[in-house]
Chains A and B, each alone.
Chain A
Amino acid sequence: DIVMTQTPLSSPVTLGQPASISCRSSQSLVHRDGNTYLSWLQQRPGQPPRLLIYKVSNRFSGVPDRFSGSGAGTDFTLTISRVEAEDVGVYYCMQAKQFPQYTFGQGTKLEIK
């Protein structure tokens, strides 16, 4: 199985300031079709996970442009350019390279200072 490791596990951020979360995979997430299947999910308190970013850097429908994803191979980053109160929650990275044997990061809790 591909192991996904996120850092940090907790991130206190000031409103209006940027935040970033890192995710590292135990092997390359480049699929044989040439795409890299790394996505980011957001889980607000009491809510199910929600897709934010897919294939490293593509924002899903309705996701604000303050969210962006970057990276390649085994190292990836989710960046929030200016944190808003509604961004509080837990963020997960997920790999789909080994479809359907998906694996997730441990989650990073984003909270407001």
Chain B
Amino acid sequence: EVQLLESGGGFVQPGGSLRLSCAATGFTFYNYAMSWVRQTPGKGLEWVSAISPSDGSTYYADSVKGRFTISRDNSKNTLYLQMSSLRADDTAVYYCAKIGLRSSPYDFDYWGQGTLLTVSS
């Protein structure tokens, strides 16, 4: 059974930093691209970042480029999101999602439960 478990969310002041983690089980982690997606009541679902399975290629939404860094440790089956220069509008529930099912290489087939980040003074 595929499971994705996010952690690391919390309360941060504007300008601060935080690292989110996503522990993956139930599939061969190093074979799949992974992504972070966030959700706010006002803006709905927003794709944040993605990383390729093995060559380390990374991709970012314009809203987080230069402030967030996605990475993965395939030996630990864990995905990370290092966030810095945080702003109030980064407040959201952050989900990690597995990318790719056998017949559709680009779709999110599994999502974690999410972790809440609140940025406020």
Residues of A bordering B, CB below 8 Å: 35, 37, 39, 41, 48-51, 54-55, 58, 60, 92, 94, 96, 99-107
**Total contacts A-B at CB 8 Å:** 67
CB < 8 Å neighbour of A48 from B33, B47, B107, B114 = B114
**List of B residues within 8 angstroms of A39 by Cβ:** 104, 107-108
B interface majority secondary structure: strand
For A41, what are the chain B residues with a Cβ–Cβ distance below 8 Å? Answer: 45, 108
Residues of B62-121 at the interface with A, using a CB-CB cut-off of 8 Å, are 95, 99, 101, 103-104, 106-114
Say yes or no: A48 contacts B101, CB within 8 Å. no
Q: Is B21 in contact with chain A by the CB < 8 A criterion?
A: no
Given A48-B95, A49-B95, A50-B111, answer yes or no on A92-B45 (Cβ-Cβ < 8 Å). yes
Which of A41, A49, A94, A107 is packed against the most chain B CB atoms within 10 Å? A49
Majority secondary structure of chain A interface residues (helix, strand, loop or mixed): loop
Number of interface residues of B (CB under 8 A): 24
| A39, A94, A99: residue with the most chain B Cβ atoms closer than 10 Å | A99
Q: Which A residues are in CB contact (< 8 Å) with B113?
A: 48
Mark B16-39 against chain A: 1 for CB-CB distance below 8 A, else 0: 000000000000000001010100
Q: Does B95 contact A58, Cβ atoms closer than 8 Å?
A: no
Q: Which of B50, B95, B114 contacts A100 (CB 8 A)?
A: B50
